[in-house]
Amino acid sequence: MLLWFGMVISAYSQNSYSPELETNAKAGNAESQYQLSRCYLLGKGVAANDAEAVKWEMQAAERNYAEAQFHLGARYSIGYGVKLDTVQAGKWLALAAKTGHVKAQNMLSGIERRLTAEQKAQMAKLVTEFRPQSSANPAVKIALPPGMERASKYELLQGEGGAGSGCIIRYYESLCAVTSLHQFNGQTPRNLEDRQQKPVALNSGKVIKQKDVQAVMLADQKSTIPFLEYHPKFRLEDHEAVCVFDAAGKPHEGELYFLTLAGEYHSIAGPTEMEVRMKTPIMAAGASGSPILQQSTGLVIGVLLGADHPVKATRISFETLCLPDLTPKPAPKPAPVYSDPKQAAAYQGFTEFAKRVPTIHWNASEKYLRAWKAPSVDTVEEFVQSNKVSDMEVLPGADGQWEASLKMADEKTPDLFWKYQFISNSTGGWTLKGGQKMDHGKPMEILVGDRLMKRCFISAFAEDAAKK
């Protein structure tokens, strides 16, 4: 399990699936074969299919692609997707280790301790007899992900006196300089410098500060200096592919590691510190304040804070860039007016019931958390305060009953909301008919279809209706 855990952490795909990627893989390009295997392993742009992942992983390994050899060796060591075979595991790990692959070297030592003398001889023979197939050149050019495309054309700014790096972003229609606060002892710099040491004047009267990141408006809003795009409503998931700038302004690839308990993060929730595992080591010294880009969109999502090594960093930490959302807020919808007195009375009764829905919702969540012995992150008061009920409607249903619907959105993450349907019951109350989590208006399974969560909600609403 630990070996496979290590595989998943390092499983990385620069590109999602594309016809061009598969064309190159079929043409015999080892890099494309390996990337295609990651797409099938992680379900990036294609349905997850471990048999296909093993197939392309094997072909890349046969072409002496070290990362594929490492993953294949790890598979054989635990029998994941292939038959458990420690001799084959040793063969592929040894071949990867010969190229200097550190993880393969570390894993190989553990495998060798499990082999008998005869098995070690078999492994050595397989390694000696290995004749790699040649890797073909790519048949077609594959476009870089938006993040890498933008990062490859961008250079960092330097702080006053060369201390700390920064970048220019377009925040709605304004140009801002973004950098860390600790590089300037919590103060706002008067200017940054471009690569030619030309000052970039800042408007110190217009500063947005968060935990350890600041955004400062440029004094010259018509500047032609290259900028990166920022949007205040970005969303991140575990193992999200990102681009990290080194001190020289060169982008490197990495992935988010263990984002949150829920596996996703929304920028509107506020700044938080996250960790990135790098695909290859980078020089981090002098790069504090450099931007982190989401590879799939090219958006700036954070600012680099620290690293595990100044010269050969493999893990870096960054603070998410969370600037205020300046999108005009829509006017609240007026309450519906019903000409039918019975329908109006039903709506009024449902309005009173809906006022208690956030509390019921939270209590149901609490049941779920207790069932998994997980700590709650909210109090009832905090939850009710941030979850608002809106867009209610009551319509005639079957058998003289009324059917009602409502939307409940978390003010911290308004793009995620719940849609509920209720039906009137014989006691004069309301019973939950169905609930659905929505993302940007698109339905989602309740916690990835968790039946226990669904039962908790139904149970909680039923209990409240029975009490009433």
More confident residue, 407 or 467: 407
Give residue for tokens 């471009």.
194
**Model confidence pLDDT, tens digit, residues 100-141:** 888 889 899 889 999 999 999 999 999 999 999 999 998 888
pLDDT confidence bin for 447, thresholds 50/70/90: very low
pTM over 0.75: no
In a domain, 138, yes or no: no
Element at 361 (helix H, strand E): helix 357-371
Q: Is the pLDDT of residue 228 over 80?
A: yes
Strand, helix or coil at 358?
helix
In a domain, 61, yes or no: yes
8 A C-beta contact, residue 411 and residue 417: no
Q: Is the pLDDT of residue 462 over 80?
A: no
Distance CA(431)–CA(436), nearest Å, equals 15
Q: Do 54 and 88 fall into the same domain?
A: yes
Q: Is the pLDDT of residue 7 over 90?
A: no
Q: Percentage of the chain with pLDDT > 70? A: 89
In a domain, 24, yes or no: yes
Q: What is the pLDDT of residue 315?
A: 93
Domain-ending residue, one of 328, 357, 384: 328
Among the residue ranges 6-10, 272-276, 382-386, the one predicted with the least confidence is 6-10
Which residues lie closer than 8 Å to 69 by C-beta, 6 or more apart? 61, 92, 93, 95, 96, 101, 104
Distance CA(244)–CA(233), nearest Å, equals 20
Q: Is the pLDDT of residue 55 over 90?
A: yes
| CATH, residue 22 | 1.25.40.10
Among the residue ranges 120-124, 241-245, 442-446, the one predicted with the least confidence is 442-446
Ramachandran sector of residue 249 (left: φ over 0; alpha: ψ -120 to 50; beta: rest): left
Distance CA(276)–CA(257), nearest Å, equals 6
Which residues lie closer than 8 Å to 133 by C-beta, 6 or more apart? 28, 62, 63, 64
Q: Is the pLDDT of residue 400 over 50?
A: yes
Distance CA(252)–CA(257), nearest Å, equals 16
pLDDT confidence bin for 453, thresholds 50/70/90: low
In a domain, 335, yes or no: no
In a domain, 345, yes or no: yes
Q: What is the pLDDT of residue 367?
A: 74
Domain-ending residue, one of 78, 105, 129: 129
Average pLDDT, the chain: 85
Q: What is the pLDDT of residue 1?
A: 41
Q: Percentage of the chain with pLDDT > 90? A: 40
More confident residue, 463 or 165: 165
Q: What is the pLDDT of residue 322?
A: 94
More confident residue, 210 or 102: 210
As given in the structure block, the two tokens for residue 128 are 């000696």
Q: Do 157 and 202 fall into the same domain?
A: yes
Q: Is the pLDDT of residue 5 over 60?
A: no
Q: What is the pLDDT of residue 250?
A: 85
Quick one: average pLDDT of 141-167?
A: 80
Q: Do 223 and 291 fall into the same domain?
A: yes
Burial class (CB in 10 A: 0-12, 13-18, 19+), 447: middle
The most confident of the ranges 39-43, 54-58, 220-224 is 54-58
Domain-ending residue, one of 101, 129, 157: 129
State which residues form the domain around 366. 341-467
8 A C-beta contact, residue 242 and residue 294: yes
Q: What is the pLDDT of residue 347?
A: 93
Q: Do 362 and 449 fall into the same domain?
A: yes
Q: What is the pLDDT of residue 209?
A: 93
Q: Do 269 and 384 fall into the same domain?
A: no
Q: Is the pLDDT of residue 2 over 50?
A: no
Q: Do 308 and 389 fall into the same domain?
A: no
Q: What is the pLDDT of residue 387?
A: 83
Q: Is the pLDDT of residue 11 over 70?
A: no
Strand, helix or coil at 173?
coil
- Taking Cα atoms as reference points, which of 271, 228, 279 lies closest to residue 249? 228
Phi, psi (5° rounding) for residue 265? -145, 135
Distance CA(113)–CA(167), nearest Å, equals 50
Q: What is the pLDDT of residue 168?
A: 93
In a domain, 174, yes or no: yes
Quick one: average pLDDT of 82-98?
A: 95
Quick one: average pLDDT of 327-356?
A: 88
Q: Do 152 and 273 fall into the same domain?
A: yes
Quick one: average pLDDT of 331-342?
A: 87
